[in-house]
Amino acid sequence: MMDFKNKSVTVMGLGLYEKGTGIEAVKFFLRQGAIVTVTDVRSAKDLAESVEEVVRYYNKLPKLRNPSQPPLTLRGGEKRKLTFILGKHREEDFKNADVVFQNPSVPAESPYLRITAKHGVPIVNDWSLFLSRHTPKLFIGVTGTRGKSTTTALIYEMLKFEHSPIPRNRRMASKVWLAGNLGVSPLAFIDEYRGEPIVAELSSWLLHHFPAVKKSPTIAVVTNIMDDHMDKYKSVKEYIADKEHILRFQKKSDVAVLNYDNDVTLKMGKRVSGRVVWFSVKKHVPRWVPLEKILLQGEHNRANALAAACAAEAAGVSRVHIMDVLKTFKGLPNRLQLVRTVRGIQYYNDTTATTPDATIAALKVLGVRGQVSGAQNLKPKTWNLKPRIVLIAGGADKKLEYRELAKYVKQYCKAVVLLPGTATAKLKKEVSTAMAGQAGVRCQVSEAHTMRAAVKKAHLLAQEGDVVLLSPGAASFGLFKNEFDRGDQFVDAVKKV
């Protein structure tokens, strides 16, 4: 890894997460003695908490400041080592830098990154930096369009303990790091890392710079590949190419855990250098995990559980301990999370459903729960269930199609409350088309300009035995800071019902 002391580094994208990529990158470069410029198109007001976190950290590193200068404040102070350019980007910060750090939220096609490349300035991210310094003996990476977080969390739980048949003898294993989208940036522990196992959720953005270091995880999991992020990629082919970096540099001794039920991952298996382990919920390949023992509901979660089981077993975890986790793991917040039941109405937070496919999965789970056993596997035309879901959906468009989702809305939803955003008009049009010619009671569609108003409307539309489901099927840009802020606002509004 290159020496960053006194080098000019531009961090593109500070971000809003305390342990996130942008903030940890700034801290890392400051520790290295670099001259850091932080630039973000968000305003200083929007980024106030992140800026304050970085400033606090800077002021704890006295060696970086001129002793004669007062501590850095947002209004002034020593600016040689740390400068903020917020609300815009400047061309000079990219063409004159020694290194540019790309936050995962920044699309590869950014004109400023093109300027960077034109001037021969290296572009890095947290994983290319980490892997240029370290080569973990056990590195389990998880990617895919859906199911990454749940699968990563399951694997992490399976690896956290060395299992013993006698529960009281269970003890902590060597430290296991949880990193990537679900955990922290690897730059948060790059200086203290001593070869411990790493379990990481890796988005396509994080995988984008793996070719720079020509390394892939020792155990790579691809849950599935579907259309997503078409607002930031030129084509599906480019999106898949970034995803496949998780496999591209594996050695013969490495393992790839792939979904046999997905056409794209099925083709990926032909290009794997190491050993392939397939998983399938449709019995296309042998499996030892009894699906009825998995606590998580829904076919998509069964697939996640199988993927995690295969990865953990490849890492040396016993089947007994794997099943202990699968029998007890209740899921992650913001993913089909039951928030509260009020007067017989259940409120579910599924804010991480940012694609139509993810919302379909939620509707299939909640729409049939307790009504028809096994109905999740039926085709739409065979359903004959009373709609009981009030869906809160809509948001920013990622250039995805909503026609298929509209079919499920028609079947499962008694009402839809749409949040503002560029995807909302598309979803509204497709639902209207799906409802055309339908006799009898039709799904009621309305709109709300805030989450609080949406929850209030949904509450009035729901009756005992119904479900109010936040599952947007779209991104959160515009109305919310991020998808988790969207979920937090939903939870807060539900608590006030």
Q: Tell me the sheet residues that pair with 245.
A: none
pLDDT of residue 228: 76
Q: Where in the chain is the domain with CATH 3.40.50.720?
A: 8-124
Write out the two tokens for 428: 């509204």
pLDDT of residue 1: 77
Q: Where in the chain is the domain with CATH 3.90.190.20?
A: 337-495
Q: In this structure, are residues 440 and 475 in contact, taking their beta carbons and an 8 Å threshold?
A: no
For residue 193, count CB atoms less than 10 angstroms from its CB and return exposed for 0-12, middle for 13-18, buried for 19 or more.
middle
- pLDDT (tens place) for every residue of the chain, 497 residues total: 789 999 999 999 998 877 789 999 999 999 999 999 999 999 999 999 999 999 999 998 865 555 555 555 544 444 468 999 999 999 999 999 999 999 988 988 899 999 999 999 999 999 999 999 999 999 999 999 999 999 999 999 999 875 334 444 444 446 899 999 988 999 999 999 999 999 999 999 999 999 999 999 999 999 999 877 767 788 889 999 999 999 999 999 999 999 999 999 999 999 999 999 999 999 889 999 999 999 998 999 999 999 999 999 999 999 999 999 999 999 999 999 999 999 999 999 999 999 999 999 999 999 865 443 333 444 444 444 678 999 999 999 988 999 999 999 999 999 999 999 999 999 999 999 998 866 656 799 999 999 999 999 999 999 999 999 999 999 998 899 889 999 999 999 999 99
pLDDT of residue 66: 55
pLDDT of residue 387: 87
Write out the two tokens for 341: 């039941």
Q: For residue 479, give the amino acid letter.
A: L
Question: Tens of pLDDT along 111-135?
Answer: 999 999 999 999 999 999 999 999 9
DSSP code string of 45-77: TTTHHHHHHHHHHHHT-GGGS-TTSPPPBTTBS
- Of 82, 95, 154, nearest to 123 by C-alpha is 95
Which residues 6+ apart lie within 8 Å of 460 measured at CB?
A: none
> What is the H or E stretch that residue 123 is in?
strand 123-124
The count of residues in the chain is 497
What is the architecture of the domain spanning 337-495? Alpha-Beta Complex (3.90)
State how far the Cα of 339 lies from the Cα of 351, in Å rounded to an integer: 12
pLDDT of residue 441: 65
pLDDT of residue 283: 82
Tell me which fold the domain 8-124 belongs to.
Answer: Rossmann fold (3.40.50)
pTM for this predicted structure: 0.87
pLDDT of residue 164: 37
End-to-end CA distance of the chain: 54
The highest-level CATH class for domain 128-328 is alpha beta
Q: In this structure, are residues 465 and 388 in contact, taking their beta carbons and an 8 Å threshold?
A: yes
Q: Where in the chain is the domain with CATH 3.40.1190.10?
A: 128-328
